[in-house]
Structure 1
């Protein structure tokens, strides 16, 4: 049975003021040496060119000498002297990096050395706590009663973490605490946005003070990024810090004129007399008392403190608009939303903004946002009210749940260069929060994820487009859906590009007593039962392919990737350590081969083949 939650999450509004986005790219922290960190660097930190984690050995990373990857291998002793601090301090900043945990490892990243975002091997955890990966760790007070010493921790919204030994991607948008001229704190620090493996896990979370184990118990406007080094083996790469410490552009001397009329194209104003005019301390649509069919023409001065490239986004509810700065048009005359990039000099620059409101189904509202060098995206207008939106239609998987829908694979393109759409997708959700999408046209698993199940809003909102979206951290399996089972002339024969001449015929699926499907199809005159089950520990999926009347030269293709790396215990690392394939049958004879610039993992199959997808 499908469960519908209306609503659980709030969808992103079309208004600029409701969105916190990551800004321009910052400066990568060099990892050719350790000069970017405070000296002396603790002995437990080093550089490597590659590394692997052993799924059977706790706290173990095997490293390859070189540079580019920062590695912590703790000595077993505890103390702040093992933590690693950047040489440069930061205030408001976006932090972006990849990290890898060893099995059972524990670590953390401290913004300004004081506010910890937890890193932990939380593989298989269904309901994260404040101590799990991606969570904001607790504050700590020894004076509080036992059981209450830890407080104000913020668990991640869902467990978007991956298995140890896999690279994970973290993005943090952080706002430092604010202080007045006397040094008194006026505003707490905030995690404006945190994404783990592409999934939003924190949104505008305030922290009232340093979390447990900080560099110092005080709070300051600036501080170093600190990597915890005394708890577990962990690695980092591609560390980028984008500071936001520049003065914001600001508007002044704003005047407006309001013209009545339905202007669907940009007016010239020649011979037009305004209905009203005046000055305003802010840029807002509220100066017009006419509900519809009007144009507001704002002029004024934009003060810019730093020369550079600036991006402006304009939202014009129920109409169109046009922005001009320093006599340069920024974007085009467009309905509802427009965006443009412009190079501006330092100084006071002429400013003009037009807002034409002509659609009566929307209320008037005007918003203007800007990003620039050292400036996080912010509004030059008061935040407006959100556009009318439908409640999100979210499908949970409190029991084993199936949903048929189209499924778009954003990293895959079709022959026309558009995003590839699986037209006969069946998404299968589980109460263990381990899910997958099956392509019934190819007998293939196209993606796997854990956490929340599906957002079906695009499928059913208004007329709908028939598609749904995973709500967890997705691992995509292969460049595009192709047959899992095929007959080859030899182990080096090319894999079929499609189902033509394969004899592929889907035969539906059968549900067991727990509503878990076993998919069935015929291919190359063989009958295949394709059973996919969640592993007991929630670490991934086990797949059992059973073949009747298979005959000779039948193969299963388990992976199609840029890279396939053989590991111990019949295990393979796929696509640059994105997920694992583990063969359960020790008698299987896998072949890793090259094909059109990619690699494939294929295995001969006679009557049965069992393997696991670990992610």
Structure 2
């Protein structure tokens, strides 16, 4: 493996000099530690394979090779060149949320060990279909040399789906980790847990209990705290935007909880002194499951809230079919409000008077009482039971792509000119068994988005009355404000058309081949266009061929519109913030042009016969 340094010119406004390696930011949930990678001072004795960089690229044709631009802001590992060693944080952690971006070289392998014990695998798994615990996002196996061959590895967990991107593209990881818990004698009483792991916006693990350390653990025996350890002896990898949020504050607990039940409808709080309860007693926790035998009632809980540590706390009360109220330390946090609500207050330490009221007056709604508490250094938790079906979940209507699938629906495309995105009313989504899919907009002849992973959730479209939309189930790449794919430019300075208005655009539908793969047809500027898309290279990309039967002067294809487009070679371009590649396969000897656009830059090429290119993602 080789690292190559080269000079690269940056826009001056994009260079931000930071003076410290680690920033601490107070949030409403915990103390957030930000690693800006100006140097390596927050790590213990970093080996020579680790360095900082200003930018980094990979070569899709070379294994374990990264090209590095000198600078800061990115952490890079080069194990083959400098005897790779694992990297340990100076700090040790218990309950945390970890968030970062990482970038793999081709064929590379790394991992993140939580508390130095539990490995989440990082690997180039681009286009891999048979995913295991050893692939990207997997929880690595535990290991026992005493077991028979073939059984030594056990309790490894594969990701739910493979949403891994191509080498050289930034991938986003979010992990919520719960540390193991020990009693006063040092005995483990609760296992560690991944509350969730999200890769590129998709949940790949959830509520996953870790019964013990994974193979390669560097610490003897589980402990309440430990460092973050990044594997450094396997392959070339880069990191940026690393954030750790600690959750170390002890939970407030309810004690001496009593309840009283009053039957009837209460739109406001009654005078309890002159109203005898129908029932009363003690309770171990807040619940609406008190067998009241009535559709309309009010339940009043009183007790003490034991707050071990002073600070700011947020209370989130849910009271379906009615209203609710919270008082803590004789202060009213929520007045009678339909459905409950959320409020924040500073509380002193100690045993504080506590009161919750739930008034249910809608006959047709099932009773339910939910109360969650969170705060600075305190991960949100449920202090009530889970009685009540707040969200009324339904069985999802999922569309799988065992073979080619075509589904017409409305589709919400993220981003766009407005932050809320854009609703396509004539969307055609095409699924492929290699788990790379796309949405095509018949209204503009535009490739709107691609995604990797599972195909579609059609529940919003088909459940009950429905709203006509379907939702991608994988990691979605919106393709920006493309406007139209084929346009006409009478000069180099002419702006690209934002839509089909005045372009004589007419959608002609699509045709299916023998494998049910569609080709799209439309006319624009008097030219007849055929647009063909197919998944190639074991699901590594989507190849697109745009053909014109009746050429018109000055026709162009807009291949990309992004804040930044970097030319890596005559045929390969890196789009946006290392979001995807465009590879030119057959241009008919036409030359691509990168020019400025309202969004930043756009990639154009003349269209005289046909253009073939591939989106690698």
TM-score (norm 1): 0.91
Question: Which of the numbers 53, 56, 59 marks the counterpart of 1:51?
Answer: 56
Among residues 385, 398, 403, which one is paired with 1:399 in the alignment? 403
Provide the C-alpha distance between the structure 1 equivalents of 2:148 and 2:281, rounded to a whole number of angstroms: 61
Q: Are the counterparts in 2 of residues 531 and 545 from structure 1 also a CA contact under 8 Å?
A: yes
**Deviations for 1:156-213, whole angstroms, at most 9, x for unmatched residues?**
0000111110001101111112222222222221111100011010011122211111
Partner residue, 1:523: 524
Where do 1:98-177 residues align within 5 Å? 98-177=101-180
Distance in 1 between residues matched to 2:284 and 2:381, nearest whole Å: 18
CA distance in 2, matches of 1:309, 1:447: 42
Aligned residue number for residue 64 of structure 1: 69
By relative contact order (CA 8 Å, sep 6+), the higher-ranking structure is 1
* Aligned equivalent of 2:306: 303
Instruction: Evaluate the alpha carbon distance shift between residue 497 and residue 59 of structure 1 in structure 2; reply closer, same or farther with a 3 A threshold.
Output: same
**Contact conserved, 1:332 with 1:338, CA < 8 A, in 2?**
no
Which residue of the other structure, out of 334, 337, 341, is the alignment partner of 1:338? 341
Output the CA distance in 1 between the equivalents of 2:332 and 2:500: 52
> Which of 579, 589, 592 is equivalent to 1:590?
592
The SS at the match of 2:214 is: coil
Q: Are residues 224 and 434 of structure 1, via their aligned partners in 2, closer, same or farther at CA, if it must alter by over 3 Å?
A: same
Q: Tell me whether 1:559 sits opposite 2:565 in the alignment.
A: no
Structure 1 residues 248-283: Cα deviation after superposition (integer angstroms, max 9, x where no partner) = 0122233333222223x4435475543334443322
> Quick one: structure 1 residues 511 and 242, their matched pair in 2 at CA, closer, same or farther if it must change by over 3 Å?
same
- Check the 8 A contact 1:258/1:288 in 2, yes or no: no
User: Using a 3 Å threshold, how does the CA distance of structure 1 residues 332 and 419 change in structure 2: closer, same or farther?
Assistant: farther
| Counterpart residue number, 2:512 | 511
Aligned equivalent of 1:267, options 256, 269, 272:
269
Alignment of 1:5-44 (within 5 A): 26-38=32-44, 40-44=45-49
* SS of residue matched to 1:338: strand
Counterpart secondary structure, 1:600 = strand
Q: Which moved more, 1:342-351 or 1:220-229?
A: 342-351
Q: 3-state DSSP class of the match of 1:459?
A: helix
Give 1:290 shift.
3.4
**Range with bigger deviation, 152-161 or 369-378:** 369-378
Quickly say closer, same or farther: Cα 1:526–1:330, change in 2 above 3 A: farther
Shift of 1:329: 4.7
CA distance in 1, matches of 2:57, 2:598: 27
The answer to whether the 8 Å contact 2:519/2:532 transfers is yes
Residues 404 and 427 in structure 1, CA contact (< 8 A), matched pair in contact too: yes
Gaps of 5+ in 2: 1-27
* 2:323 is the alignment partner of 1:320: yes
Q: Structure 1's 27 and 251: CA in aligned 2 closer, same or farther, altered over 3 A?
A: same
Please say if residues 369 and 388 of structure 2, whose CA atoms lie closer than 8 Å, have aligned partners that are also in contact. Answer: no
- Cα distance, 1:25–1:614 mapped onto 2, change above 3 Å: farther
Is 1:613 matched with 2:610? no
C-alpha spacing 1:165/1:454, structure 2 compared with 1 (3 Å): same
CA distance in structure 2 between the partners assigned to 1:522 and 1:246 by the alignment: 63
Counterpart of 1:398 in 2: which secondary structure? Answer: coil
Change (3 A) 1:515 1:244: same
Contact 1:492 1:593 in 2 (8 A): no
Residue ranges of structure 1 left out of the alignment (5+ in a row): 1-21
Aligned to 1:234: 237
Counterparts of 1:175-194 in structure 2, within 5 Å, are 175-194=178-197
- Hey, what's the Cα distance between the residues in 1 that align with 2:53 and 2:566? 18
Instruction: Rate the CA distance shift 1:477–1:251 in 2: closer, same or farther, 3 A.
Output: same
Q: Distance in 1 between matches of 2:596 and 2:335?
A: 47
Deviations 1:449-501 (A, max 9, x none): 1110001111111111111110001111003x521101111232111122110
Q: Distance in 1 between matches of 2:88 and 2:233?
A: 13
CA RMSD of aligned residues (A): 2.1
Deviations 1:495-545 (A, max 9, x none): 112211011110000101000000001111111000000013210100000
Relative to structure 1, is the Cα distance of residues 516 and 29 closer, same or farther in structure 2, using a 3 angstrom cutoff? same
Give the drift of 1:77: 8.0
d(CA) in 1 for partners of 2:281, 2:188:
39
Instruction: Answer whether contact 2:269 2:336 (CA < 8 A) is retained.
Output: no
Q: 1:343-380 deviations in whole A, cap 9, x for unaligned?
A: 33433433332211123334322111111121111111
Change (3 A) 1:269 1:496: farther
Question: Deviation of residue 52 (structure 1)?
Answer: 0.7
Q: CA distance change for structure 1 residues 281 and 141 in 2, over 3 Å: closer, same or farther?
A: closer
Match of 2:17 in 1: none
- Of residues 441, 456, 460, the one that matches 2:462 is 460
Checking the alignment, whether the CA contact within 8 Å between 1:306 and 1:373 is kept in structure 2 is no
Q: Secondary structure at the match of 1:136?
A: coil
Shift in Å, 1:447: 0.9
Q: Describe how 1:375-454 pairs up with structure 2 within 5 A.
A: 375-384=378-387, 386=389, 388-412=392-416, 414=418, 418-454=420-456
Q: Which moved more, 1:362-371 or 1:599-608?
A: 362-371
Instruction: Please name the residue that 1:361 is paired with.
Output: 364
Mapped partners of 2:209, 2:170: distance in 1:
28
User: Quick check: 2:321–2:366 contact (8 Å CA) kept in 1?
Assistant: yes
**Distance in 2 (alpha carbons) for counterparts of 1:590 and 1:329:** 66
Whole-Å separation in 2 of the counterparts to 1:459 and 1:269: 48
Aligned mates of 2:561, 2:498 — CA distance in 1 = 12
Q: How many angstroms apart in 1 are the aligned matches of 2:566 and 2:193? A: 40
Deviations 1:12-37 (A, max 9, x none): xxxxxxxxxx9557221241221111
Shift of 1:333: 4.7
Deviations 1:398-457 (A, max 9, x none): 01001111111232365xx75421111111001111100111111111111111000111
Output one character per residue of 1:540-564: Cα deviation in whole Å (capped at 9) or x when no partner. Answer: 1000000121221111111111111
The structure-2 alpha-carbon separation of the partners of 1:268 and 1:559, relative to structure 1 and needing over 3 Å to count, comes to: farther
Contact persistence 2:452–2:474 (CA under 8 A): yes
What TM-score comes out, normalization by structure 2 length? 0.91
Q: Tell me, yes or no, if the aligned pair for 1:210 and 1:217 is still in contact at 8 Å.
A: no
Change (3 A) 1:607 1:269: farther
**C-alpha distance after superposition, 1:264-307 (max 9, x if no partner):** x4435475543334443322223452331111122333232333
